[in-house]
Structure 1
Amino acid sequence: MKSGTVWICTVAVLAGIVIGFVGGAFRWCLQLADRGRVELVDWSHHLPGPGWLVPIAVAAAGATLAALVVRWMPLAAGSGIQHVEAVYRGAARPPGLLLLPAKFVGGVLAIGSGLVLGREGPTVHMGAAIGAQAARYGGLSDPDVRMMQTALGGAGLAVAFNAPIGGALFTIEEATKSVRLKTVLATLCATATAVACARLILGDRPDFLVDPVAPLSTVWIPVFVVFGLITGCLGAFYSRLVLSMLDAVAAVPRIPAVAKASIIGAIVGLMAFVDPHAVGGGDALTQLIVGGGALALPLALGYLAVRVFAGPLSYAAAVPGGLFAPLLAVGALWGVLFVGVLNLLWPNDGHSLAVPMAIVGMAAFFGAVVRAPLTAVVLVIEMTGITALAVPMLAATAAAVLTAELLKSPPIYDSLRERMQPDGNRDTLYSDERRNRGGQ
């Protein structure tokens, strides 16, 4: 077996090329699906008769097909990040290459149909599958195979958000929770290569276009700390809601998993007919907010309430899709809502805080739920290209993570990993489904 550092970096680069192009193609397909969904909803509004049935039928069909993909490949369900972490810890087997088409096709069907899921889950898991297979072909030892799949998972996250440093930090801070030179080198090589290749397909610009933001006066820092403390409470609530929704959907008797996904898809399709911004990963809504678009307080509250509910509901459909991207949209909405309430309670020039608070909210909410504060801060900075908010972002994210810790809310992926079966290839959701079908 080969285990030299140079050879490991070489394998990481070659695997990074593959996930770069695969992940870039995946994002490109999702962009097409997002545009098509918006056009479909607009067309359905002009149809005579019950045009609202069209987006419901399309979303239900997409969720159904994605659930059928999961029936063929159960490991493709959900985010997959918890599986990557379990593999690194030796509690699950590394994924095989069959996971690649399952995550790609299932993810496009599920996320493209409008389910409130993130693109990063499939790209992380696809990267892990590519990394594990490349390590096997490269003759690496079993520990290095597990390490390589984790490093390539970070590269997948980097491709999902065009955030190479954030992807590398994810591997270190969240997936491995350790700093080892071999892992760091493999991750950096894979991430740099993957993002460079993905940019050949998607272009090279931040995910969100934001006008320059002037550094804020230090007198506002206490406001951001208070915002972070409240955000930590919201993050703890969201994490528990995700787990409760998984349990609630799994506990419904005598309804197959595919039918449950169809029903959830239909609900999301109805939401899409009412307002396309209410569904999907949330990039368009986040861009509207951080781009300076005006959002009335009641509308921000409505979007926030819908997406806080729709995200966990969509994840409970057990189809390919992650949690990260919807978290960013919820964080941005919460930032806008906080500033709106602040203006009502304390009339001032707080309107200038709307965009900064939305950007900070993305990092703080992400940090509170995932419990990876450095990854959250760097990811948002790379996605927006804004560095002037680093200090308030650090303060708010630290406060949010501290609050979530004090509330004893475990990191969401720790909770999801604990729900996996001993072989690491299925969540307890599927165990419950099998019991509901009489153990078949």
Structure 2
Amino acid sequence: MGEAKTIAIIGGGASGLAAAVAAGEAVRDAEGAARIVVYEAFDRVGRSILATGNGRCNFSNARPGEGDYRNAAFVRRVLLEFEGQAHGHVPSQAKTSTAYPNGVLGFFSDHGLMWREEGEGRLYPLANKAASVLDCLRAACTAAGVEERVECEVAAVEPPRAEGSPFTLRLADGRFERADAVIVAVGGSVARGLLPEGVPFREPEPTLGPLATEPRGPRRLDNIRVRGALELWRPGEETPPEERGRHGYPMGTHEGERLASREVGEVMFRKYGVSGIAAFNLSRLAEPGDVLAVDFVPWVRLCDMEAFLNRRRKMLRASLGHDVTWDDMLRGMVLAPVADVLLEAAALDGARPVAKGETVRMAPVLKGLRLPVTGLGDVKQCQVHRGGVSVRAVDDRTCEVRRVPGLYVVGEALDVDAACGGFNLHWAWASGLLAGWSAAERLRA
């Protein structure tokens, strides 16, 4: 009997562990004989999983769609193929009576994970700890006979020298190992160094992080959080009339600018600019020269804002029994430091009574405090790197590199990224599972 074949998975993060479980279970279910080996440079697998969602792990989204991703057409085809194959590999998806909305949720349910849904479809483990997701994955790896090789860094993958011969893995310590199929599940510049020459690759750059603004976010607002909306305006062209309502309650129109995107959620001011989920999501689109507009009252349209302020002034005058100042108007609506910044932007004196016609100056400021974008803020906070292997080089039915049969790339190794909300991890699981099943099938062929 010949030596068992090997599937090498480089990277023990989300996509790598998903690929390992998928390959191991597929080999086991087919009563085959193959080694599934995960190579991890750090001292344990799953470190990146434990760090997600501030340790809570927003592991998926209840309503994922290809429109949430960069290179959406490619993602759509991969997810369709994944869902089709999930019916044959994920037990809960095989029967209509037990099927979940997607194969990722079916996979995790079959391996014991329970979860709950929070706002905007975000899914978190019921235990509220990322460790519970990792525990389920590692238990599945053990049951499928997956080998973990920690503190074992792969420096390069050399393609087979002849048809039918194995890949060569060059380890960082100088040793060499062989594999019949390789799944690259690491992102950023690490993936670039691993891959054979000729695989098209976009240099990685951090994204999904805070934004730097000029002036540097009014510094006196550092660490203040507001629940509102954040819009990204791009100079050079105006928003067409038919698009002005497309993003919910737009702040209005700015001459010579186009509304690029709008996010509702938490906005956190920092000394360098703006952070929070809304800023993170806009960072995927923002460019230096764009303008952020902070909406402090997103439930009121700009065209209704003056009437809103006038009604508030009348209400406060009746309850306070004296002329209402701008300090009175903003008290209870925003924190005092925010009120100071708004008054400064509107060129109003907070201690003076609200004069006739002044609401027209405050309304656009409350609906759109403008902060010019200079770039990313603290890049250490960026959650993903944009870039990786070009999707044009990859078979969307298998995640296999077209020019290098037997070499697969998944998760962050591909030039795919998405907004916050569990979409990036959903992609990691789905692409990893698809590649694992495909690699196991290749070894059986």
If the TM-score is normalised by the length of the shorter chain, which range does it land in? under 0.3
The structure with more strand, counted as a fraction of residues: 2
| Larger CA Rg, structure 1 vs 2 | 2
TM-score (norm 2): 0.24
TM-score (norm 1): 0.24
The structure with more helix, counted as a fraction of residues: 1
